[in-house]
Amino acid sequence: MAKGLDIGTGNIVGCQYKNDKLVFRSYRNVFVPVDPNPVVRNMLKKSGVPSVELEGKIYALGEHAIELASAFQSKPHRPMARGVINPQEQKALPIIKAIIGEALGQPETENEVVFYSVPADPVDAQFNAVYHAGVFEKVLTELGYKPTKINEGLTVIYSELLDDNLSGIGVSFGAGMCNVACSIYGSPVFEFSVASSGDYIDENVATSLAIPSVKAMKIKEGIKDLRKPEGQGEEAVVHYYKHMLRYVADNIVKSINALPSLPEFNEPPKVAVAGGTSLPPGFIELFGEMLQSAELPIKLGEVIRAEDPLKAIAKGALFAAIQAE
């Protein structure tokens, strides 16, 4: 038995096989405090809203937390920021542990293996992933699992490029960070992350238009085509999408150029893309244009979107866990 876990800034997703089928459990990685009286507690339970009680206070979790925050004109709390534990949220660790518990469920065997995603060290932020990985190793061990970390970009390759002998480039456009990995036959060639992804777009659109970040996020998630923006809000979203994608493409060029020698692929490597920020129509075409215009020292194959961009990281982590088993 084994499981895969995507610990993302925006979503936490657990994955396992049951009856020879992939089963996913996905939760938005957000929370909001609610009135701790017994009526509210019972209504949350009756409505199936995931929640956790800490020190006499109740916190609604997941998608329902966003709905409650929007209804009360407040901002939902994020246990993670920029791809790692949010140091500004004192309740982050126990709450994220509760969300992970919901996503994975109870271990089905003693010390069941779970591979969990971690970001690569960023090229543009002052932290490394060592503390982050250690925190979740402890959390998963306390939940009864035997955890192993795996780079988030590499999980996209394991999920989407099996038919390409696990050779190519995997890019995860999450909420907090964008993670990139390159591998040949599943062996990493390079990996990095940048602190610009979905939240970067939301925050800058909100600042540019003087609107709440929740509203900016809804504009981003509701856009019909990045190549055909409608109105000022969508035009702002597209502007920051282009800036982010150019930045990612430029750092792929830098990473390849920094290698002692150019990687040798049997054929131009595909670029597999996953993550919630990659969902809008037109994203793949826009990213492809940015890669084509970058001064890449090797020829790339087509840019493909994961079969399910929100589940690819957990699926790839599960694949790695099964191989380990």
261: number of Cβ within 10 Å: 5
pLDDT of residue 241: 95
Give the three-class secondary structure for 258.
coil
pLDDT tens, residue by residue, 304-317: 999 999 999 999 99
- Please give the Cα distance from 262 to 36 (Å, whole number): 59
Average pLDDT, rounded, for the chain: 88
pLDDT of residue 92: 79
pLDDT tens, residue by residue, 162-177: 999 999 999 999 888 8
Which whole number is the average pLDDT over 257-267? Answer: 92
Select from 192, 204, 262, 210 the least CA-distant residue to 238: 204
Contact 136, 120 (CB under 8 A): no
- Please give the Cα distance from 316 to 115 (Å, whole number): 9
Select from 247, 259, 217 the least CA-distant residue to 234: 217
Select from 235, 226, 236 the least CA-distant residue to 206: 236
pLDDT of residue 247: 95
Q: Which of 83-87, 158-162, 276-280, 289-293 has the lowest mean pLDDT?
A: 83-87
Buried b (16+ CB within 10 A) or exposed e, 162-191: eebebbbbbbbbbbbbbbbbbbbebeebbb
Which whole number is the average pLDDT over 67-79? Answer: 66
Domains with residue ranges and CATH for the chain: 2-155+311-324 (3.30.420.40), 157-305 (3.30.420.40)
Residue 127 has pLDDT above 70, yes or no: no
Contact 186, 166 (CB under 8 A): yes
Residue 15 has pLDDT above 60, yes or no: yes
Q: Which two tokens stand for residue 281?
A: 């129509």
Report which residue type is found at 47.
S
Contact 96, 12 (CB under 8 A): yes
CA 274 to chain centre: 8
Which whole number is the average pLDDT over 254-265? Answer: 93
Report which residue type is found at 215.
K
pTM of the model: 0.86
Q: 3-state DSSP helix/strand/coil percent for the chain, to nearest 5?
A: 40, 25, 35
DSSP per residue, 63-99: HHHHHHHHHTT-PPB-SEETTEE-TT-TTHHHHHHHH
- H or E stretch at 113: strand 112-118
pLDDT of residue 69: 62
